[in-house]
């Protein structure tokens, strides 16, 4: 049994009764980075929220390390598309939110949060407030908050799509860099994205969803050696393969 098993998830909007997710199944192994891609509005974010325990699926199950997910768990963390930082707390305080439920002293919390901020290159911005930061830096705070509690599963909901391409690119590099660090590495990462190149660049496995209702169209492995070069033939081939899946 894989580290994370998503098993036949069905979900319909409670109000309209419209089916959004239709029997979604896939799995992720330890140390795997999995991307879920699909057209916008297909229900990717809903699927991710079901995995986080924020939304209840109509049927099906999510099993993480042998345990069924029934609600938000302290071993799962989440990065939001719109950052979702609390504007009235300093960046350091925001990161400490990630440790709020841990049995630690206030000093330990502060030190752990500071370490994580430094790792994400936010030294000097500890006491600033989120709204004074650029989008890229806000998302660094968001990542720090998600990683600071050492989650075993990290869920990311289009973490780079609110950013311009240059900022997104440098942040992707930082994420790859930070995730190399074995000490803070979550055992699995699931990222929702609508950017095919981004998915190919970062993932070991890509789950391709179709639209209305979403079913799993295909699951592809990406075995390109890292660091990946977007211009390489191998890379282009993978990207084209995914485009052709959507064109079908």
Residue 57 is a binding residue for another protein (CB under 8 A): no
Q: Which of 14, 87, 227, 231 binds another protein (CB under 8 A)?
A: 87
Asked if 18 is part of the footprint of another protein (rule: CB under 8 A), the reply reads: no
Kindly tell me which of 26 and 78 has the beta carbon lying closer to another protein. Answer: 78
**How many residues sit in the footprint of another protein (CB under 8 A)?**
26
Residue 26 binds to another protein (criterion: CB under 8 A): no
Q: Which residues of 101-122 are buried (b: 16+ CB within 10 A; e: fewer)?
A: eeeeeeeebbebbbebbebbeb
In terms of Cα–Cα distance, which of 187, 225, 186 is closest to 2? 187
Q: Which of 12, 31, 54, 224 binds another protein (CB under 8 A)?
A: 54
Q: How far apart are CA 180 and CA 137, in angstroms?
A: 20
> Is residue 11 within 8 Å of 21, Cβ to Cβ?
yes
Cis peptide before 227 (omega within 30 of 0): yes
Nearest distance, CB of residue 105 and another protein, angstroms: 15
Binding another protein by CB under 8 A: which of 82, 108, 164, 177? 82
- Give the number of other CB atoms < 10 A from CB of residue 44: 25
Indicate which single residue of 93, 198, 201, 204 sits in contact with another protein (rule: CB under 8 A). 93
Residues 166-195, interacting with another protein (CB under 8 A) = none
Question: Residue 140 in contact with residue 178, Cβ under 8 Å?
Answer: no
Based on the shown chain and the rule CB under 8 A, indicate whether residue 77 belongs to the binding site for another protein.
yes
Q: Which of 63, 97, 185, 245 binds another protein (CB under 8 A)?
A: 97
In angstroms, the CA 220 to CA 139 distance is: 28
Q: What is the torsional sign of CA 59, 77, 200, 168?
A: positive
Q: What is the binding site for another protein (CB under 8 A)?
A: 49, 52-54, 71-72, 74, 76-78, 80, 82, 84, 86-89, 93, 97-98, 100-101, 129, 131, 145, 149
């Amino acid at each position: 049994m894989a580290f994370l098993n998503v098993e036949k998830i069905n979900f319909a909007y409670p109000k309209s009764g419209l089916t959004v997710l239709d029997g979604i199944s896939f799995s992720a192994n330890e140390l795997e980075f999995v991307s879920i891609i699909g057209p916008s509005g297909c229900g990717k974010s809903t699927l991710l929220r079901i995995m986080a325990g924020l939304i209840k699926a109509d049927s099906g199950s999510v099993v993480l390390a042998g345990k069924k997910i029934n609600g938000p768990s302290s071993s799962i963390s989440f990065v939001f598309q719109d950052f979702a930082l609390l504007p009235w707390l300093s960046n350091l305080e925001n990161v400490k939110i990630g440790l709020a439920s841990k049995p630690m002293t206030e000093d330990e919390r502060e030190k752990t949060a500071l370490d994580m901020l430094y790792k994400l290159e936010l030294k000097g911005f500890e006491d600033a407030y989120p709204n004074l930061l650029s989008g890229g830096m806000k998302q660094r705070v968001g990542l720090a908050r998600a990683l600071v509690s050492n989650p075993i599963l990290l869920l990311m909901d289009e973490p780079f799509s609110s950013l311009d391409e240059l900022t997104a690119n440098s942040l992707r590099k930082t994420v790859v860099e930070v995730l190399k660090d074995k000490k803070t590495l979550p055992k699995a990462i699931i990222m929702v994205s609508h950017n095919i190149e981004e998915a190919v660049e970062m993932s070991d496995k890509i789950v391709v969803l179709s639209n209305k209702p979403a079913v799993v169209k295909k699951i592809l492995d990406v075995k390109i050696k890292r660091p990946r070069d977007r211009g390489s033939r191998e890379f282009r081939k993978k990207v084209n393969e995914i485009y052709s899946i959507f064109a079908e």
